[in-house]
């Protein structure tokens, strides 16, 4: 079985990257992480990739005149490594519409909220400020608009009395680590199709896109 050659873009700690690396360590997993690119040289996620024996590259956005030039460098690196698919895993740069279109339906992101609510930065703080009783995370195909695109998998968690941003973020992050490998697996297995703004998951796992976590975990 040919595994889907996947590049991952990171900016920070890379715990979602770790979840993908752990999943891909199993030979049955239908995708492999072949390249990890960080826009920050000190991103701890780089060491996670190295430990897993995956090639890494630092492409610092500050070395490029504009977003288009930076994205062109990302694009060339991904193509040079023969990546067929890309996962954004805590990558904190906005990509240009041209990049999003070039990788349309081959580029996914994870966001720490139940989209379309709470787009943008500090999604967990936004959920708390809005008094949401349930929040969670979303894996979606990337479109030119920020934190928009067809939803593949969502995981929901309760917002508990007494939660601060860190407590809610940690509860959501645990679910992120479950749904990101799940979404990539469904795609690499060929079970995911995009029709307009919606995703269809076919086969026995048609309802796998909803992951609900009860208050007791
Ligand atoms: C995750 O919570 C991810 O959802 C979020 O950054 C964190 C990265 O953690 N991404 C965004 O907010 C993108 N808009 P990680 O580096 O440990 O995976």
pLDDT digits (tens, 9 = 90+) for 97-140: 999 999 999 999 999 999 999 999 999 999 999 999 999 999 99
Res 161 pLDDT > 80: yes
Q: Is the CB of 48 under 6 A from ligand 1?
A: no
- Answer yes or no: 111 catalytic: yes
| pLDDT: which is higher, 214 or 160 | 160
SS in 3 state form for the chain? Answer: CCCEEEEEEECCCCHHHHHHHHHHCCCCCCEEEEEEEECCCCCCHHHHHHHCCCEEEECCHHHCCCHHHHHHHHHHHHHHCCCCEEEECCCCCCCCHHHHHHCCCCEEEEECCCCCCCCCCCHHHHHHHCCCCEEEEEEEECCCCCCCCCEEEEEEEECCCCCCHHHHHHHHHHHHHHHHHHHHHHHHCCCEEEECCEEEECCCCCCCCEEECCCCC
pLDDT digits (tens, 9 = 90+) for 48-83: 999 999 999 999 999 999 999 999 999 999 999 999
Q: What's the rounded mean pLDDT across residues 81-90?
A: 98
Res 204 pLDDT > 80: no
Atom of ligand 1 nearest to the CA of 109: 13
Stated pTM of the model: 0.96
Q: Is the CB of 7 under 6 A from ligand 1?
A: no
Strands 198-201 vs 192-195: parallel, antiparallel or unpaired: antiparallel
Q: Is the CB of 111 under 6 A from ligand 1?
A: yes
Atom 8 of ligand 1, residue of closest alpha carbon: 90
Q: What's the rounded mean pLDDT across residues 148-164?
A: 97
Q: Note the pLDDT of residue 205.
A: 74
pLDDT digits (tens, 9 = 90+) for 173-182: 999 999 999 9
Res 215 pLDDT > 90: no
Strands 134-141 vs 151-158: parallel, antiparallel or unpaired: antiparallel
pLDDT digits (tens, 9 = 90+) for 33-52: 999 999 999 999 999 999 99
Positive or negative torsion for Cα 114, 112, 123, 157: positive
10 within 8 A of 45, measured Cβ to Cβ: yes
CA of 137 to the centre of ligand 1 (A): 10
Question: Which residue matches tokens 């999003």?
Answer: 100
Atom of ligand 1 nearest to the CA of 18: 18
CA of 136 to the centre of ligand 1 (A): 12
Instruction: State the average pLDDT for the chain.
Output: 95
Q: Is the CB of 154 under 6 A from ligand 1?
A: no
Q: By C-alpha distance, which of 135, 98, 148, 140 is closest to 212? A: 135
Taking the alpha carbons at both ends of the chain, their separation in whole angstroms is 35
Q: Note the pLDDT of residue 1.
A: 77
Atom of ligand 1 nearest to the CA of 120: 14
Q: Which domains does the chain have, with CATH numbers?
A: 1-103 (3.40.50.170), 110-217 (3.40.50.170)
Q: Note the pLDDT of residue 216.
A: 52
- With bands split at pLDDT 50, 70 and 90, how would you rate the model's confidence at 152? very high
């Amino acid at each position: 079985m040919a595994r889907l050659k996947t590049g991952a873009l990171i900016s920070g700690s890379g715990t979602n990257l770790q979840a993908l690396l752990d999943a891909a360590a199993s030979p049955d997993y239908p995708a492999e992480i072949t390249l990890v690119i960080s826009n920050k040289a000190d991103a701890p996620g780089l060491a996670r990739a190295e430990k897993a024996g995956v090639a890494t590259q630092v492409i610092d956005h500050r070395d490029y005149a504009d977003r288009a030039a930076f994205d062109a460098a990302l694009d060339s690196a991904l193509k040079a490594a023969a990546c067929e698919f890309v996962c954004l895993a805590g990558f904190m740069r906005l990509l240009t519409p041209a990049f999003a279109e070039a990788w349309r339906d081959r580029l996914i992101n994870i966001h720490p909220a139940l989209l379309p609510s709470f787009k943008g930065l500090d999604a967990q703080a936004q959920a708390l400020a809005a008094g949401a009783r349930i929040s969670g995370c979303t894996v979606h195909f990337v479109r030119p608009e920020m934190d928009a695109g067809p939803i593949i998998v969502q995981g929901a968690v309760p917002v508990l009395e007494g939660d601060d941003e860190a407590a809610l973020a940690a509860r959501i992050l645990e679910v992120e680590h479950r749904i990101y490998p799940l979404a990539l697996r469904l795609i690499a297995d060929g079970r995911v199709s995009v029709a307009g703004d919606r995703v269809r998951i076919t086969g026995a796992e048609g309802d796998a896109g909803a992951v609900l976590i009860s208050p007791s975990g």
